[in-house]
Amino acid sequence: MNNAKLLIGSLSLILFSLFSCAPSAEQKDLFEGILTYKIQFNPISGDSNYLAFQKQKYGGALKMTISKDGNFRRDYLSSGARGFDFVIFNVASNKLFGKWRTMDTVYSFDSGTNSLTLLSDTVVSGERIHGENCLGYRILANEPQLGQHASFTYYYPQGKEYINPALYAKAKDGFYDMVIARMQSPYYKLIMEMDGKLGKFAVTYEVEKIEKTILNPDVFALPAGVPVVEK
């Protein structure tokens, strides 16, 4: 009996040591830097003018700038004249700020609301991307107002560029809170497929370059003199 108690006590001590030494979110090395993605647009079916508009909206390259405190910025480097310019997320206000190239206005959106209705989220087969074995995760959703179906398939590494999911617990837009809670890192590849009344298309983002660097907070500031309109 004494030997059994001694064994249980030893196991408890070992388990306590393991868990007490496990790094917390605050202790982990939070990623801060820039990821550059190539963008590929695949028109599947539908109205040709609608598909051409969607293609130029994204362009061929995306620069994702991520601060360790949760702010991020997406710059669409080669989008068309009627395409996206940038999107900025401010973690303190939990708001998204987006600008189109042809508009001299920044639009503000509450990231705490989500226009999409979740249909399912599942684990899918992974892929090897940028030299890493990545896990796969897919979200299927519906956009009731536009009658559009959406699919988001993410591929992400393990133990690489760490992002603290607690920073995005209130970021419901696009199910970003769910996605980051699972990945805890930037995605290395994203396939976004949209299927609506006017057409069906897919947009693929795949990482080409990852730079870990200390960022100037000014990169997340809105452009001076440009009005901001709440949506």
> Given a cut of 70, is residue 22 above it in pLDDT?
no
126-136: pLDDT as tens digits: 999 999 999 99
Question: What are the strands of the beta sheet with 33-46, ordered from one edge?
Answer: 117-129, 132-143, 148-156, 189-195, 199-212, 33-46, 61-66, 72-76, 84-90, 95-100, 106-110, 228-230
Lowest mean pLDDT among 20-29, 158-167, 213-222: 20-29
Give the confidence band of 182 by pLDDT, cuts at 50, 70, 90: very high
Mean of the per-residue pLDDT values for the chain?
Answer: 90
Predicted local confidence at residue 26, as pLDDT: 54
Residue 63 and residue 213: Cα distance in Å, rounded? 14
**For 76-187, where are the alpha helices, taking DSSP H only?**
176-183
* Cα–Cα distance list, 41 to 38, 141, 149, 155, 159 (Å): 10, 20, 17, 18, 30
Location of structure tokens 């591929």? 155
Cβ 194 vs Cβ 150: under 8 Å: yes
For residue 107, pLDDT beyond 70: yes
Pairing status of strand 189-195 against strand 148-156 = antiparallel
- Judge whether residue 7 has pLDDT over 50: no
Contact 100, 86 (CB under 8 A): no
Q: What is the mean pLDDT of residues 188-202?
A: 96
Is 194 in contact with 43 (CB distance < 8 Å)?
Answer: no
CATH of 33-230, one of 2.50.20.10, 3.90.1150.10, 3.40.1360.10, 2.60.120.1440: 2.50.20.10
The per-residue pLDDT for range 134-181, each reduced to its tens digit, is: 999 999 999 888 789 999 999 999 999 999 999 999 999 999 999 999
The pTM of this model reads 0.86
Q: Judge whether residue 3 has pLDDT over 60.
A: no
Q: What is the pLDDT of residue 25?
A: 52
Average of pLDDT values for 119-130? 98
**132 phi, psi to nearest 5 deg:** -125, 145
